[in-house]
Chains A and B, each alone.
Chain A
Amino acid sequence: MLFILEDAINGILMGSIYGLTAMGLTIIFGVLKVINFAHGSLLMIGMYVAYWTVALTGIHPYLSLFIVIPAMYLFGYYLQDIVIKPIFKAEKDVREPITVIIVTTGVWYILDNMTLLFFGPQYRSIDDNPLKGKMMELGEIMISVPKLWGFVTATITAFAIYYFLQYTRMGRAIRATSLDRDAASLSGINQYKIYNIAFGMGTAVAGIAAVTLVPFYNTFPSVGVLFDIKGFIIVVLGGLGSIHGAIIGGMIIGLIESVGPQFMAATWTEAIVYGLFLLVLFVKPSGLFGVKYDW
């Protein structure tokens, strides 16, 4: 019985990191109404930034947040400003412009292959960091320390973003733009700037997720793909645009993935995850915490 509890705890911890990757996706979708197919690649870029920062300076992996967050924010801000915005403007009468989705797919391929070109296909990991392989004993239960750090980080990030969106001038403007673009414009909000900022925020959150992964996960050019699909499922499960929905959706997926193999072949857990995904789409298409209204 105890090992199931152990798996459940570690699964929830890992799931909160999945949730963190999905949170960036949900922020970007909430405001731009565009599924960012490049999100996994942004996570991958974040992991490379974190990896090289730690590998070159030898600092504690979490200290790389001070470099990763601003770097990723600016990267996302200008990616949206330079690459995506022109398409957005050309299609401004279309509410969910499919061409923008195609552009993000292009960005995904370019980023992944550029990384492959520059850094090669090898798996990189930081072997001598203070978190690697650390376990904490709680009675007879072993808890993975780097995942626990990830859990704490995910929780703090979720609360910080919630507070920012709820109580600051810019946060209110972001929410207003996500609810009604024209009405936001008429209130004096430059909607394209809000898109840049939202994209920057989503990318920065992907960077935070990357930092939580780097201490115990390998960094390689296609690492994003593993988290990409999971991210989409989590976002649909938790409700598009919902911050806490992303975290809780992530925990559910993490839980299924780690407890499931106790009862069945590990590959079956995938089937359960996708089955749950379909079930949510059938029963509550707006997701567990999504608000049912017209986007």
Chain B
Amino acid sequence: MTLLEVNNIDVFYGDVQVIFDLSLHINEGEVVSIIGGNGAGKSTLLRTISGLLQPANGSITFDGTSVHNLPPEDIVEHGIVHVPEGRRLFSLMSIKDNLIVGAYNKRATPNTAKTLEYVYSLLPRLYEREQQIAMTLSGGEQQMVAIGRGLMAMPRILMLDEPSLGLAPVLIKDIFQTVREIANKGTTVLLVEQDVNHSLNLSDRGYVLEHGRVVMEGAAKALLKDPHVKEAYLGL
């Protein structure tokens, strides 16, 4: 069943068009990767889906309801949760407070204690340090908090924007492992990544974005073997 459907959207930053006539869909329970270089429009696409930007044309529907005119806080209420690029933690708040704020929306608030337990079981490091101020954490730990904060909102679809950015290779493995576990628990995941190899390996399907357009789409396994993807993104 199609959970999220993006139909022919155009997105502008001021006068500059960043996304051109882009369409994609994500089915319930899938893990989908969006890959592409810097400036391909990946983050812009996620910011548009989560309501931080509004498309000039086209529509976005989630579970049958149109969401592209809603403000971000209402979109979260529907279950679309965006973990932004660069973590964007609440720097002077403790890990625990960051997580609790993640559950602010009306759907998630009543379940805060239960979700918190789930997040701590998935990311036990966060429990050990729950009183530590977010600013003082390492990059990998911050990314864990960011993902945890996203999960606290009880996502039906979790959108991760470059979770591996700036992390050491051993931590990148941890992060992708966590993403896999989240997906195994039944959450739909939309993953935007520059680490093409890792992300396609754990995805069901993928889209390749170039200059704000979808240039290729298909099963993740097939994309990994594609000569263009190999040459442009895997350096083979």
Interface on chain B toward A: helix, strand, loop, or mixed SS? loop
The contact of B104 among A188, A291, A293, by CB within 8 Å, is A188
Interface residues on A, range: 10 to 19
How far, in Å, is B162 (CB) from chain A's closest CB?
Answer: 15
B50, CB-defined interface residue at 8 Å: yes
How far, in Å, is B116 (CB) from chain A's closest CB?
Answer: 13
B135, CB-defined interface residue at 8 Å: yes
Q: How far is the CA of A293 from the CA of B135 in the complex (A)?
A: 10
Q: Is the CB of B52 within 8 A of A182?
A: yes
Task: Return the chain B residue nearest A188 by Cβ.
Answer: B105
A 183-199 binary contact with B (CB < 8 Å = 1; else 0):
11111111100000000
Q: Is the CB of B105 within 8 A of A179?
A: no
A173, CB-defined interface residue at 8 Å: yes
B218, CB-defined interface residue at 8 Å: no
Q: How far is the CA of A176 from the CA of B91 in the complex (A)?
A: 9
Chain A hits for B89, CB < 8 A: 180, 183
Q: Is the CB of B100 within 8 A of A186?
A: no
The contact of B71 among A175, A185, A291, by CB within 8 Å, is A185
Q: Is the CB of A293 within 8 A of B92?
A: yes
Q: Is the CB of A187 within 8 A of B153?
A: yes
Q: Is the CB of B71 within 8 A of A190?
A: yes
On whether A188 and B90 interact (CB within 8 A), knowing A172-B100, A183-B84, the answer reads: no
How far, in Å, is A295 (CB) from chain B's closest CB?
Answer: 11
Q: Is the CB of B73 within 8 A of A172?
A: no
Q: Which of B19-27, B75-83, B183-191, B205-213 contacts the other chain?
A: B75-83
Q: How many A-B residue pairs have CB under 8 A?
A: 75
Chain B hits for A182, CB < 8 A: 52, 72, 84, 88
Q: Is the CB of B77 within 8 A of A188?
A: yes
B36, CB-defined interface residue at 8 Å: no
On whether A180 and B90 interact (CB within 8 A), knowing A173-B104, A188-B108, the answer reads: yes
On whether A185 and B52 interact (CB within 8 A), knowing A175-B90, A180-B90, A190-B71, the answer reads: yes
Task: Return the chain B residue nearest A182 by Cβ.
Answer: B52
B41, CB-defined interface residue at 8 Å: no
Q: Is the CB of A179 within 8 A of B97?
A: no
Chain B hits for A173, CB < 8 A: 101, 104
A interface with B by C-beta (< 8 Å): 169, 172-173, 175-176, 179-180, 182-191, 291, 293
A-B contact pairs, 23 of them (CB 8 A): A169-B104, A169-B109, A172-B93, A172-B101, A175-B97, A176-B90, A176-B93, A176-B104, A179-B92, A179-B93, A182-B72, A182-B84, A183-B84, A185-B72, A186-B52, A186-B81, A187-B101, A188-B72, A189-B73, A189-B104, A190-B73, A291-B92, A293-B135
5 extra interchain contacts, Cβ-Cβ under 8 A, other than A182-B72, A190-B71? A175-B97, A186-B84, A188-B77, A188-B153, A189-B101
